[in-house]
Chain A
Amino acid sequence: MTDTKSVLVIGGSSDIGHATALRYAKAGWRVMLAARDVEAAKRNADDIRTRSGVETSVQVLDVLQTGQLAGFVAGLPLLPDTVVCVVGELGDQLRAQTDPELATTIMRTNFEAPSLLLERFAQTFKQRGSGTIVGVSSVAGDRGRASNYYYGASKAGFSQFLSGLRNRLALAGKVRVVTVKPGFVRTRMTAHMKLPAPLTVDPDRVAEDIFRADVTKPRDVIYVARRFWLVMTIICALPESIFKRMRI
């Protein structure tokens, strides 16, 4: 291939990040993984290189060091065609209610840091005149729930950020923004939870849908487990007076 495309996955040590990068690699894309845990990202990069034969590299990045984000984008060996951000932190809601530091980390990891980072990419992509930004948000952002409202609220913020960014860039043309809302995904993050099987997907499925929404069948907002769209539409339609007394 003379015109090799490239993807940068932020959160490359995660299960969804790994699966997503592998999906792009199988289509021949060059892969960059960015992560704080370099060893884990390197293990994923080795796996992707071995399975697909494509070039892969690892970039060190701690997204919470927001002062370094501009330098990170400027210092990349090449500006990718697509950037996928899967950074996220479920956090322990109960603990967060009494531990402001943890609450802050959850909000910064899910909202502040990804937003600041993707804003940098939006600007450089716009200058270049092309690029796709994929933000992995969550259905948990569609409505606040007792069990995870720090996570949900910050994902809600991230979803709205992506929506606004898409709105701005659509008017400028050329740069696309995709919002991905996986439902329950079997990953390390959810390994301790009992997940409802009909609404739960594997990271491979998330990866496939991200690739499709970016490359083969462009979309703006996707729910990964399709029936989640219906579930969330119903949940969002419930009046607050009823919703607040439910345990969902």
Chain B
Amino acid sequence: MPAVALPERVSAASDPSGIRLSGWGNYPKVSTELLAPQTQAGARDYLLARSGVVARGAGRAYGDAAIGVQSTISSRGLNRMRSFDAATARLTVEAGVTIADILTAFEPRGFFLKVVPGTKFVTVGGAIAADVHGKNHHRDGGFGTIVESFRLALPGGEIVSCSRSENAALFAATVGGMGLTGVILDATLRLLPIETAWLRQDTRVAGHLDAAIDQLESSASATYSVAWIDCLARGAALGRSLVYLAEHATRRDKEMLGPDLAPFPGPRTQRLSVPERFPGWLLNRASMRAFNELYFRRGAARQGEPRLVHWDPYFFPLDAIADWNRIYGRRGFVQYQCVIPLDRARRVLAEILDRVSRRGDASFLAVLKQLGDGGGPMSFPLRGYTLTMDFPVTDTLFAFLDQLDALVVDARGRLYLAKDARQSRATFESGYPGLAALRDIRRQTGANTRLASHLSARLGI
């Protein structure tokens, strides 16, 4: 059983055989048949009998990546761990096991995951399919780097093992392949032994975007680095940020900074939850500006003193608030995450931030991160800087985002498919030159005629 209950957000549709399903952004909501196999054999059998189908994990992809055109195979029943070898730190789990499950079981035993995204409520299958990245991508690469192997059910019913030595091309295309090569059944991961589960964090204040990028650049040796940008700040303060640098705290760090703390504190429990009908008027320019100001001052006050931070709020700050996606209301929101190659990053990101701050309805905070080289033909990361922002869906939003897309395309950047709900085919194709490799694999395995998500249909993958 998952340690944390993860509600599947579904509602009844007029079509009795289907349901309305959406990603974490609650946009778009579309009809699909939802299947919930309880075993790996069951998952394979569903796959064999269907087309227009894709696997779905915990539903944390923001847009339409994990919704099948006709059918969606949920991996939630594939939630068993299989084996763990403490000597080699290798863990084998079924695809529906979440990162939260793994950390709950293994953090108290002195193991962590070297790559985690910003929420722990994603499944291992989903993390592989999106090749999720963490705050250490510039140093350690994406989720694919900690995957030793996985087993994949192909549309023809065959189950194949994939690793860097076995079916290597299929392995590479599946990491970041958005579930379009087959259904991931289970995976073997390499866990990271840790001395303590605390993070030693340094906070730096950057008064504007250039300073933030300077900070990230000069601290490239830090394991974890990320900048939280106040994207309502304008003029000379455009891009003002708090830059957070962190390392896994050693036993010595803990002795010095927090001798009384338990070395491996378990996960924090969720205490807050956003009500179903969150009053939308609470989210306006004045309240966001006030929040950002407060957040920024609180962070700035901590500049200079390294301190120990609990792993859960450090890696997964938003997970403390259940259903936070509801604050954007019924129409939902889209998360916009682009990456801009190194040489153009400063100029293009400044342009994007300027347009966003003038528009004024972006999220409270934007996240700026340095990325290293990508992991496979379809992995999102490339050497450069990635910027992430939330936008509530409004009538004028998509035209505005199309303008940002033009800047990204012009800079040879790309958008993250796990967050995408609206980019055009042209934007996508110009951003992912490795697409041909995925299409080749899909033709070879017959996936091209059988596996289709709303995302793949929209983008012509």
Binding site for B on A (CB under 8 A): 15, 18-19, 22, 40, 43-44, 46-47, 49-53, 188, 191, 202-204, 207
Contact = CB atoms under 8 A, between A and B. Distances in A.
B38 interface: yes
A15 B77 CA distance: 10
A43 B101 CA distance: 16
5 contacts: A44-B80, A47-B82, A50-B81, A191-B36, A203-B1
B84 interface: yes
Q: Give the dominant DSSP class at A's interface.
A: helix
Interface in B312-334: none
Interface-central residue, A18, A51, A204, by most chain B CB under 10 Å: A51
A15 B93 CA distance: 18
Interface of B: 1, 3, 5, 36, 38-39, 80-84, 91-93, 101, 105, 109
Nearest to A51: B105
A18 B38 contact: no
Given A188-B38, A191-B36, A50 B1 contact: no
Contacts of A44: 80
A243 to B, nearest CB: 30
A49 B3 CA distance: 15
A22 B81 CA distance: 12
B82 A202 contact: no
Given A43-B39, A44-B80, A46-B80, 15 more contacts: A15-B1, A49-B83, A50-B82, A50-B83, A50-B84, A50-B91, A50-B93, A51-B81, A51-B101, A51-B105, A53-B109, A188-B38, A202-B1, A204-B1, A204-B5
Nearest to A23: B1
A46 B186 CA distance: 14
Contacts of A52: 105
A22 B1 CA distance: 8
Q: Which 7 A-B pairs have the closest CB atoms?
A: A50-B81, A47-B80, A51-B105, A19-B1, A50-B84, A47-B81, A204-B1
Nearest to A50: B81
Nearest to A15: B1
Contacts of B39: 40, 43
A70 to B, nearest CB: 32
Contacts of A203: 1
Contacts of A188: 38
Contacts of B1: 15, 18-19, 22, 202-204, 207
A226 B170 CA distance: 50
Interface-central residue, A22, A50, A191, by most chain B CB under 10 Å: A50
Contacts of B84: 50, 53
A23 to B, nearest CB: 9
A51 B1 CA distance: 10
A124 B109 CA distance: 37
Interface-central residue, B84, B91, B92, by most chain A CB under 10 Å: B84
Contacts of A191: 36
Contacts of B92: 50
B80 A43 contact: yes
A46 B81 CA distance: 7
Nearest to B83: A50
Contacts of A47: 80-82
